[in-house]
Structures are given as structure tokens and as C-alpha cells.
Amino acid sequence: MNRKIIVLDTTLRDGEQVPGAKLNMQQKVEIAQQLKRLHVDIIEAGFPASSAGDFQAVQEIARSVGDSVTITALARAVKNDIDAVYESIKLAQNPLIHIVLGTSNIHVEKKFNRSKEAVMQMGVDAVKYAKTLLPNVQYSTEDASRSDFEYLWKTIEAVVKAGATMINVPDTVGFAVPEQFGDLIRRLNERLKNLNENVVLSVHCHNDLGLATANTLSAIKNGAEKIECTINGLGERAGNTSLEEVVMALKVRESFYNSYTDIQTKELLRTSRLVSHLTGLDVQVNKAITGENAFAHSSGIHQDGLLKDKQVYEIMSPEDVGAESMELILTARSGRHAFKNAVEKMGFATTDAADFEQLFGKFLALADAKKEVYDHDVFYLVTSHRTLNE
Ligand code: KIV
Ligand code: ZN
């Protein structure tokens, strides 16, 4: 039976850490409302201890959209941060405290300058304190992919015994590669399910090597039950796992992953455009799923194939992600089939073969000069050609 994958969107927390992506409270609420329409399971609304503005935004999101979506926010493993999270999310129906603390040697030695045991104890104390406030607590082992496996496991075991209900395994600096990350998740999952089968295993990947989507999918294949991602892959440095990519990979390849999400994929494009508009950060044109060219075809061979049957060159339909339909860009490489289709779509006849050949010659000359030929160009081409020949 297929497994449901829980989707946590962190556009408003990790995504908002991008330089230049400052959002005001109203904009954050607008994005949260759209994330609810998209049917994400959990919204990470911010890092409330970081500023009064962030606190208020998280509170407003919890109040206004927290009726059906789980709301979480980030805390370091310290009482003040946990209190700030609790106070800001407590109005949501299903609030979740998210605690983060590093497990790699470099974090333990350089960031905290404490012994491994002392750092682990900080995590345990933080979870125990959070559990006095709320039943649901997620613990993130920051820099997990660069951590010593046995210490990572000991930490997970200790925080689960202290009451953590979700364990999130971050590839904080995008160091992981798919086979290795999948293997890490498989080993952790085996031990975790023996310890407490109700604890959810989650992953959080960064894209420094362009592998965030691949690592997330590999983790799913190896037992991860929850994924963390952002719209348009926004996030620190090269960004986080792009929600739209993983969701569509699971939809298109459902029988390979035996997994699905509850995401309303027809809302993906609208969400992507909203986030891009409000953050002022453009989506690259060839970005998978939501880029401007994601469903645009310009080569003649492809256009001809698509006009025969869309499946020849399309693995998903544009309508599935909320785009209008595939787009055939007319260029000098477009063949007769694509040009004929464009002319006929405008209501002009193409039955006179000699006349059509002349028209196609004019189209190629125009396409050479202009590079891309739009509907209005085709219209002008046909009407002026027909007037001349009358
Ligand atoms: O990248 C990271 O490790 C994080 C944690 C807070 C989950 O963003
Ligand atoms: Zn992150």
C-alpha cells in the first residue's frame, strides 16, 4: 500500500533567510493562506525568538490559518526560544514546537565548545521542557549528514526517550549525496522503528551541490515519512529542497516510490508565482515544474511529436501543476506541422498545398529574423500574404 508523505513547508522560515527576501506580516499571511490552499500538512511560520516582527507574524499565521494546518516555528535548544515558539503558535489547533541542535563534531566543538555529552544533555533538557508546554515536539539534529553515526543515533535515542515525536535529519550544508543519504536514513529508520514506531522520521535537505531533490527522494525510498521543503527551492545559500519538484516526482513516479502527498498540485504554479512576486525573487526560466519554459517546446521535431500525441514529449500535463497548456514556441526550427497547427488554430485554411508552402517560406524568413514568432506575427503573416495573393 502507498505511504502518505507528510509535507512541511519552510518557505516562511528557511526560505525567508535568503538575502533580499524580506516579507512583511501581511505578505507572510498571504503566503500561509496559499500554502493552506496547496494542502501542505505543516507550515513552519518563522523563528519567533529572532525578532518582535517574526514573533507577531508567526502568531498571526497561527491565528488565521492554524485551524486545519499544523503550525510550527523554530527554537534553539534554550528556554527563551522555546517559550517564544510556544507563545506564538499556541492559538493553532495543532501546534508543534521545533527544536534544533547540532550533532556534528564541528558543531559540538566549534559552535558550542562543550563535550558531546553536554550538548546531548542540552537537547534532552530542551525536549523535556517543550513537552511541559505541548505534546508535539520535533527535534532536528543539525548537520546530521556530517555527524558521527553512533553519536547521531545516541542523540536521537535520548531525545525520543525525552518525548520528541518527530526526528528531523538535516543535510544542513548540502554535503550529502543520494546513495549515502538514503543509506543514512535507512539505518536510522531501522533503529528508530525498533525504539518507538510512532516517532516520525523526517528529512531537510539543502541544495549546495544541486542534490536537494535527489537526496530527499532517496530518503523517501529509504523510509523517510516527512519532508521539509520550500516553494521555488528558496532558502539559505543555494536553497532548500523545492516542494514542487519532490511533489511532482512522487506523483509522476508514484509506483516507483509507493508514496504520495496530499498536495493540490493544480495550485503549484499559482503558489510559485505568488512567492516570487512577494519576495521579488525570480524563478529561473528553465526551473523544473514552475519555470516559464517548463512546458514550452521549441524544436520542430518535438513540436511535431507533441502534435501527434502529447505523451511523446510530455511526462506530466501542464494542467496538473496549474499551467494552462503546453506551449509551442514557433522558431526557425519549428516544422510545417507546428506552423500549420498555429495557422489553423486562428481559423485560417491550409488546404491549398502550394499556398501553404509559400506561407511557410515566409514564416521561416520571419523566424530567422525575429528568433521567436508569436501569435500576432502569424496572424499578420497570413493576412498580409492572403491580401497580396488576392
Ligand atoms: O538546515 C538546517 O539544518 C535547518 C534546521 C533548522 C532544520 O534549517
Ligand atoms: Zn535548513
For 335-388, what is each residue's pLDDT tens digit? 999 899 889 988 889 999 999 999 999 999 999 998 888 878 888 899 888 776
The share of the chain scoring above pLDDT 70, in percent, equals 99
Atom of ligand 1 at shortest range from CA of 143: 3
C-alpha of residue 298 to centroid of ligand 1, in Å: 40
Decide if pLDDT at 298 tops 80.
no
For the purposes of burial, counting CB atoms within 10 Å of the CB of 221, is it exposed (0-12), middle (13-18) or buried (19 or more)? middle
Mean pLDDT of 90-94: 98
Which residue has the CA at smallest separation from atom 6 of ligand 1?
100
**Closest ligand, as measured to the CA of 173:** 1
pTM confidence score: 0.89
The share of the chain scoring above pLDDT 90, in percent, equals 82
Asked whether 298 lines ligand 1 (CB < 6 A), one says no
Considering only CA atoms, which of 167, 124, 174 is closest in space to residue 146? 174
> Helix (H, G, I), strand (E, B), or coil: what is residue 272?
helix
Decide if pLDDT at 325 tops 80.
no
Residue 390's pLDDT band, with cuts at 50, 70 and 90, is low
Residue 92's pLDDT is 98
Which residue has the CA at smallest separation from atom 4 of ligand 1?
172
User: Distance from first CA to last CA of the chain, Å, rounded?
Assistant: 66
Decide if pLDDT at 118 tops 80.
yes
Residue 329's pLDDT is 83
Which residue has the CA at smallest separation from atom 1 of ligand 1?
172
Q: Residues with Cβ < 8 Å from 284, sequence gap 6 or more? A: 291
> Helix (H, G, I), strand (E, B), or coil: what is residue 355?
helix
Mean pLDDT lowest among 27-31, 41-45, 280-284: 280-284
Atom of ligand 1 at shortest range from CA of 204: 7
Asked whether 74 lines ligand 1 (CB < 6 A), one says yes
Residue 384's pLDDT is 85
Decide if pLDDT at 120 tops 80.
yes
- Residue ranges of the annotated binding site for Mn(2+) are 14, 204, 206, 240
For the purposes of burial, counting CB atoms within 10 Å of the CB of 357, is it exposed (0-12), middle (13-18) or buried (19 or more)? exposed
Residue 310's pLDDT is 83
Decide if pLDDT at 312 tops 90.
no
Asked whether 170 lines ligand 1 (CB < 6 A), one says yes
Atom of ligand 1 at shortest range from CA of 13: 8
Residue 354's pLDDT is 94
Indicate the top mutation candidate among 72, 74, 96, 159 to test ligand 1's pocket, ranked by most ligand atoms within 8 A of CB. 74
Indicate the top mutation candidate among 145, 206, 237 to test ligand 1's pocket, ranked by most ligand atoms within 8 A of CB. 206
